[in-house]
Amino acid sequence: MSAVLDALGASLPTATLLAAGLAVIFVSATVASLLYRTQLDRAAHLLGLALGGQAHEARVRARRYGAAMAPLLASLSGQPAPAGSPGRAQDLALAFVCLVPTLALPVYGLAAIRRVPTDQVLPLVVALLVGFAALLSASTIGATVVLHLGVRRSRAIRAACLKAEAQARRGRDGEPVRFDEERGG
């Protein structure tokens, strides 16, 4: 173990790349988690506003929240969009960012192994192997977390849309009510 750590220490650029890669993966997963939490809160807030009779305010805010809330905005506007997965591109991008360090390390290694002095090849190879094993595991965990959060978030927003549409059909007195007709006023 100490020999491996010594080798990592002797190949400082690779060790730095490893640390940076782990940081990138952690940041991506954290960003995905924050987005998940934020968008879930926003969807619940918009639904609460709409069901509480402030549909116009809900639509204004949904428009402000951007593409992630577009399906809910469409449902609140009485023009449900076809079922889709809002934010899937964002999830895929974050998952790809999680994989980038694992892909970048071998590319760096292939380039560096031809440049370093002969006596530095062995520690470089050791650092690359350890780094690849660590980054592959971290990338796997990070990308899985990001994609799972994305799926959960899509499903939650879809459920909010269905709830809003069901509510719109039900109406207060048994008559269908559209959210674009302000209730109670």
> Site for other proteins (CB under 8 A): which residue of 159, 172, 180, 181?
159
The long-range contacts involving 2-11, CB below 8 angstroms and separated by at least 24 positions, are 4/126, 4/130, 6/123, 7/122, 7/123, 7/126, 7/127, 7/130, 8/123, 8/126, 8/127, 8/130, 10/120, 10/123, 10/127, 11/120, 11/123, 11/124, 11/126, 11/127, 11/128
User: Of 93-122, which residues contact other proteins (CB under 8 A)?
Assistant: 122
132 part of the interface to other proteins, by CB under 8 A: yes
4 or 23: whose CB is closer to other proteins?
Answer: 4
Report the nearest approach of other proteins to the CB of residue 116 (Å).
13
Amino acid identity for residue 110 in this structure: L
Is position 170 an interface residue for other proteins (rule: CB under 8 A)? yes
On whether the CB atoms of residues 76 and 55 are closer than 8 A, the answer is yes
Query: Is residue 161 close enough to count as binding other proteins by CB under 8 A?
Result: yes
For binding to other proteins (CB under 8 A), which residues are involved?
1, 3-4, 6-7, 80, 82-84, 88, 122-123, 125-126, 129-130, 132-133, 136-137, 140-141, 144-145, 148, 151-152, 155, 158-159, 161-163, 165-166, 169-170
